[in-house]
């Protein structure tokens, strides 16, 4: 039987861009089985935006960060596969079709990414951390990921103690466990760069990445493996 697909969108104060993200899901050539939006304590009109999409399930929680919101969405969803999308990013129409077909044909692969391209929101200045505007790059960032539910069951949830890098921590943990992943060599995700990106907190994110790498080294030593 075809694999079922749940789309999980974590949002916080997403009124500005969320409708465009949802429209990109609605335009998929392989429609998902369900769409869930998890509102992580918004103080704007996010709920009103979601109300305009009657097929979308809306969940809410107090503000706990994107990792916690993604965990809530994954836990509430029922698909064989989970596709993550950030509130300000966009999918190309064939994204789910290409990635789901790959997973259906490769049982040994636990999750897939894709090529993504960053684009600058009109009127916003490019942040100093931006390096790849207008360039296709391989990505396993959340908006590029489609993950088997069995992989989430094995690897566990996102570690919400990482405010900016819970997705990176999860990815490193999954790979340390030997989960096989593949990047589909096709542009399927467009990542919006704008003044409100969490990645602006570059110093805090860098500190979290150091913590992630140290944890990975400890895991590998415990497994009797040499850190790479």
Q: What is the pLDDT of residues 9-40, one digit of tens each?
A: 999 999 999 999 999 999 999 999 999 999 99
Residue 129, pLDDT score: 61
Q: Which two tokens stand for residue 149?
A: 């539910």
- 3-state SS class at 152: helix
Output 52 or 200, whichever has higher pLDDT.
Answer: 52
Output 165 or 18, whichever has higher pLDDT.
Answer: 18
What whole-number distance in Å separates Cα of residue 48 and Cα of residue 66?
20
Kindly provide the residue ranges of all beta strands, DSSP E only, lying in the chain, ordered along the sequence. Answer: 5-11, 34-40, 56-61, 81-86, 90-91, 111-120, 136-139, 146-148, 181-193
What is the signed CA dihedral for 127, 199, 58, 157, rounded to 10 degrees? 160
Residue 48 has pLDDT above 60, yes or no: yes
Question: Could you tell me the pLDDT band of residue 197, with boundaries at 50, 70 and 90?
Answer: low
> How many Cβ atoms sit within 10 Å of the Cβ of residue 108?
6
Q: Give the pTM.
A: 0.88
Residue 213, pLDDT score: 72
- Give, to the nearest 10 degrees, the angle between helix 166-176 and helix 202-222: 20
The pLDDT of 149-171, averaged and rounded, is 94
All domains of the chain, ordered by start, with CATH?
Answer: 5-222 (3.90.550.10)
% of the chain at pLDDT higher than 70:
89
Span 69-123, pLDDT tens digits: 999 999 999 999 999 999 999 999 999 999 999 999 999 999 999 999 999 878 7
Output 46 or 218, whichever has higher pLDDT.
Answer: 46
What is the signed CA dihedral for 50, 14, 159, 192, rounded to 10 degrees? 120
Residue 200, pLDDT score: 47
Residue 222, pLDDT score: 75
């Amino acid at each position: 039987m075809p694999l079922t697909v749940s789309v999980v969108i974590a949002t916080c104060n997403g009124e500005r861009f969320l409708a465009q993200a949802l429209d990109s899901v609605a335009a998929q050539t392989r429609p998902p089985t369900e769409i869930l939006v998890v509102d992580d304590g918004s103080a704007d009109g996010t709920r009103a935006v979601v109300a305009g999409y009657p097929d979308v399930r809306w969940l809410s929680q107090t503000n706990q960060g994107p990792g916690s919101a993604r965990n809530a969405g994954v836990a509430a969803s029922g698909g064989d596969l989970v596709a993550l999308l950030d509130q300000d990013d966009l999918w190309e129409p064939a994204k789910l079709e290409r990635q789901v077909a790959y997973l259906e044909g490769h049982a040994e692969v636990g999750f897939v990414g894709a090529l993504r391209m960053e684009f600058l929101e009109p009127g916003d200045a490019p942040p100093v951390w931006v390096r790849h505007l207008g360039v296709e790059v391989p990505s396993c960032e959340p908006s590029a990921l489609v993950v088997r539910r069995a992989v989430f069951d094995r690897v566990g949830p996102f570690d919400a103690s990482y405010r900016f890098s819970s997705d990176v921590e999860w990815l490193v943990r999954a790979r340390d466990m030997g989960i096989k992943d593949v990047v589909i060599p096709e542009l399927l995700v467009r990542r919006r760069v704008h003044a409100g990106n969490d990645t602006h907190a570059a110093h805090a994110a860098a500190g979290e990445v150091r913590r992630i790498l140290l944890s990975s080294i400890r895991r590998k030593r415990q497994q009797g493996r040499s850190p790479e």
